[in-house]
Amino acid sequence: MDRSQVNEILKEGDAFFRKHGFILPPYAYWSPERIRGAEAETIRERGLGWDITDYGQGRFDEMGLFLFTTRNGLQSDLDAGRGMVYAEKIMISRENQLSPMHRHIVKTEDIINRGGGALIIELFNSAPDGSVDREAEITVQCDGVPVTLQAGGHLRLDPGASVTLVPGDWHAFWAEGGDCLIGEVSTVNDDRTDNIFEMEIGRFSDITEDVDPVHLLVSDY
């Protein structure tokens, strides 16, 4: 992706957040110089901030996701079972924009439709070797109610609805009927090591620096 494209997506995403009444924390608007400074050490360490990915495929409108991590603990907290053992993100999935099939090793997450279009989640169980099980049913909790789907079933989350996904639950998602504002509440998040994709793709984008960044991305840290 070109940095100029990233800058435009940041502007559009921030406007979408505000349209739905979600205001980002103050450090979201810090300059690149300030984010690189000592004051922002914890922000960088915990991977807080802007995150735009096309999964290294160069076609963001078709395959991509807009994210902002608002809070995040450390793996050491999770290992100790105390301290900041949680994380929170706000995301935008554009209409028909795919976030490809993946699972997590450690993270349990609630995915919440915060507004806009419907969020469609395709779901599979894991086979014993960790690969996608294309035969077994999968049961997930949707706002405290168990829902069972056939392998590859599509779960529809309308605004206000959520699903809990545990490690090993394979999932891909996209928005239908308009762009979707997505909340994520989870255990500690580590996007560097805890995303296992079915396809041979990367978690972060390759950025071509055609202009200066308006704000740094988590991947710039």
Q: How confident is the model over 141-152, as a mean pLDDT?
A: 98
CB under 8 Å to 41, separation ≥6 — which residues?
A: none
Kindly tell me the burial class for residue 168, based on how many C-beta atoms sit within 10 Å of its own C-beta (0-12, 13-18, 19 or more). middle
Q: Average pLDDT in the 169-187 region?
A: 98
Residue 72's pLDDT is 98
- The predicted structure's pLDDT at residue 124: 98
Query: CA 156 to CA 119: how far, in whole Å?
Result: 6
Burial class (CB in 10 A: 0-12, 13-18, 19+), 27: middle
Is the pLDDT at 112 greater than 90, yes or no?
yes
The structural domains of the chain, ordered by start, are 3-220 (2.60.120.10)
- Model confidence pTM above 0.85: yes
- How does residue 202 score in pLDDT terms, banded at 50, 70 and 90? confident
Give residue-wise pLDDT tens across range 58-108.
Answer: 999 999 999 999 999 999 999 999 999 999 999 999 999 999 999 999 999
**Averaged pLDDT for residues 206-216:** 96
Structure tokens at 27: 């450090």
How do 49-53 and 65-72 pair as beta strands? Answer: antiparallel
Q: What pLDDT is stored for residue 189 in this prediction?
A: 95
DSSP tag of 2: B
Distance linking the first and last C-alpha atoms of the chain: 17
